[in-house]
Amino acid sequence: MTEVERSLSTMAFTSVLFFIFSIYSCSAQVPLLMWTSDGYSLPHLSQPPAGQAVSSGQLASYLKSALTAAPHNVLLFLQDKLSIDDFTMYGGVFGNKQDGAFLNIESALQASSNPLVLSALDWSASDSVLKLFQGELGITAVHIDPSTLKEFQLNPSQLSLLAIHLPYTTGAESKELLLKNDEIIGEVLDMFKSHDVPYTAVYTGLKPSRIIQDTPIMARSSVGRSLLQAPPQLSVKPPVIFNNTEGQPCILLWADNLNISYAQGHWVDLGPETFNGSATLTGSTCNETISRLVLNYQNFTKFQSLRLIFSMRKIFFPVSARNWTVMEQVVLEYDGQTAIFNGSGGIYAPAEYSFHCQSVSSSESPLLVPRTLTDNATQWRLSFTDFQIQGFNVTGELFSYASDCAGFFTPGIWMGLLTSLLMVLILTYGLHMIMQLHTMDRFDDPKGPSISVPLNE
């Protein structure tokens, strides 16, 4: 093997490893909440800068300094999986607060005087929380899961370190399960409260439930998109821009198609009319917390007047320490009738980002659902493709970073990525092997002794 080959193959291998590692490390984070019982307070800890993940080393020092002041009865609520998105999806941010899946946790956080909220903890660090506390307190943890909780007896005269393991599922049952987990957390906290035992509680996930999407790879919307498909003709049609009263752009909208269909009729694409400037924006408004984009179409469909309205709200959500843009409603007003679709909680993005989705539709994997079963909206079907919108923190006529509705690291992409990396490895190895093949010297060298074939005498 020559020097070049050797360094090439080493390079290939290390870059593959580095790539896997960097993907893994930059995207896998879990939140961690820590609070104390009434009357106690965590020491003031300096929070990491927004967007920066907390490493296990930092976490260890956080917990150490916390235990200098916090009670030494420790309750660790370790959920199989958890991501900050769970709080935004199921935390009652959308619509009714009473509807949230984290009521007990939220009220405990509110009652505690100085809770610690880490929104992005390296998930390998969350794994070590249990060990850290065992080491600091010098006692072994009692492991409890929901089925053995009933048998647990609290001994107030003894320090306790409880590790309460909570399940998690992705999909339709998520919210129900999170509600159950929250009830369990409430029960455990009540048990300590009723015995008047002070405690320090920690709630975190052992793994992320969703891979966070705003990795640098997603960066600029057009870059993110071009990774997945050929770049669309972005330069051909500029986005719809609504200016606020000061004349500064405040809402941007772009889409490939804006298809609508009434009463099972033909699909009509509002796109061309929208982006060639024929649709007016009369009625649109925007301020710090509410953005409403109204697209008016006259005599374009079978209705004399049709209005398509996107209502967005900026919501501050304490756990993520961040403002979020939430699409609350998409409304159609047609000849005096109104049809209202709810955003169903799926259309949201950090407020300083734009929201992008390859397909926003009211039928397959609905991000838009009719407000009620009898709403006029049930007569309509909407299907927007390559849809991008930004209602807050607009700084010019270009979109900010795009937060995509489909995570970049979907299972399909993961599989493709890993398969191709494997292929590269195999190829490198194969190349390596081929380079090492040598023909036998003897046949090569005409000057060497010739082969003698012993003949029978």
Ligand X SMILES: *[C@@H]1O[C@H](CO)[C@@H](O)[C@H](O)[C@H]1NC(C)=O
**Nearer residue to ligand X within complex by CB, 298 or 301:** 298
**Does 410 sit near ligand X (CB under 6 A)?**
no
Element (DSSP H or E) covering residue 143: strand 142-144
Q: Which stretch of DSSP H or E encloses residue 360?
A: strand 354-361
Site track 368-387 with ligand X (rule: CB under 6 A), x = hit: -x-x--xxx------x----
Q: x/- site string to ligand X, residues 427 to 446, per CB under 6 A? A: --------------------
Nearest to 384 by CA among 268, 281, 290: 268
The footprint of ligand X on residues 270-299 (CB under 6 A) is 272-273, 276-278, 285, 287-290, 298-299
In the complex with ligand X, which residue's Cβ is closer, 54 or 70?
54
Kindly indicate which of the ranges 2-10, 119-127, 138-146, 264-272 contains the residues binding ligand X, using the contact rule CB under 6 A: 264-272
* Identity of the residue, 61 or 337, whose beta carbon is nearer to ligand X in the bound complex: 337
- Residues binding ligand X: number (CB under 6 A): 36
Q: Side chain identity at 219, as an amino acid letter?
A: A
222 belongs to the binding site for ligand X (CB under 6 A)? no
Rank residues 158 and 282 by Cβ distance to ligand X and give the closer one.
282
Residue type at position 1? M
Which residues in 80-109 contact ligand X (CB under 6 A)?
Answer: 95
Residue 244 found at the interface with ligand X (CB under 6 A): no
Q: Which of 12, 8, 7, 135 shows the shortest CA–CA distance to 63?
A: 135
Supply the minimum distance, in Å, between the C-beta of residue 315 and ligand X.
9
User: Which residue, 247 or 446, has its beta carbon nearer to ligand X?
Assistant: 247
Helix 174-194 vs helix 103-111: crossing angle, to nearest 10: 40
Interface with ligand X includes 174 (CB under 6 A)?
A: no
Cα 18 from Cα 24, distance rounded (Å): 10
Report d(CA 109, CA 115) in Å as an integer.
6
Q: Which of 58, 215, 257, 301 binds ligand X (CB under 6 A)?
A: 257
Contact 179, 159 (CB under 8 A): no
- Does residue 52 interact with ligand X by CB under 6 A? no
| 243 near ligand X, rule: CB under 6 A | yes
Gap between the Cα atoms of 234 and 449, Å rounded:
73
* Token pair in block for residue 269: 């694409």
Q: What share of the chain is helix, strand, coil (3-state, %, to 5)?
A: 35, 30, 40
Q: Would you give the binding string for ligand X spanning residues 323-342, x where CB under 6 A is met?
A: x-------------xx---x
C-alpha to C-alpha distance for 14 and 314, rounded to whole angstroms:
44
- Report the C-alpha gap between 354 and 251 in whole angstroms: 10
Tokens of 254: 């772009």
By CB under 6 A, name the binding residues for ligand X: 95, 241, 243, 247-249, 257, 259, 267, 269, 272-273, 276-278, 285, 287-290, 298-299, 304, 314, 316, 322-323, 337-338, 342, 369, 371, 374-376, 383
